[in-house]
Amino acid sequence: MNELDSGPTKTGEDTEPGGYREPAPSIRYGQSTATFSERLVELENENSRLHRLVAELLLKNQQLRKAD
């Protein structure tokens, strides 16, 4: 970096170990309210699905432990 380019570079250094990279600001903040609301509903549905899945797996785990 120099005086003209003091911002961070996109070399992969900002990538987390799992490969996750923060979305670009235009993606995060440039969404319309409708798009944001739709995405929020999708995420809430996915969250509910994952909660059910965890509950099912916890029950199966308990059943397997009782069988021993």
Nearest CA-CA partner of 28 in 12, 16, 39, 43: 39
Question: What global pTM score does this model have?
Answer: 0.50
- Residue in the block written with tokens 């250094």: 13
| Range list of β-strands (E), 21-63 | none
pLDDT averaged over the chain?
77
User: Mean pLDDT across the stretch 13-22?
Assistant: 61
Judged against a pLDDT cut of 90, whether residue 60 lies above it is answered with yes
Residue 8 · residue 14 · CB < 8 Å: yes
As a whole number of angstroms, the distance between CA 41 and CA 23 comes to 19
User: Mean pLDDT across the stretch 4-22?
Assistant: 57
Q: What is the percent of the chain with per-residue pLDDT over 90, rounded to a whole number?
A: 47
Judged against a pLDDT cut of 90, whether residue 41 lies above it is answered with yes
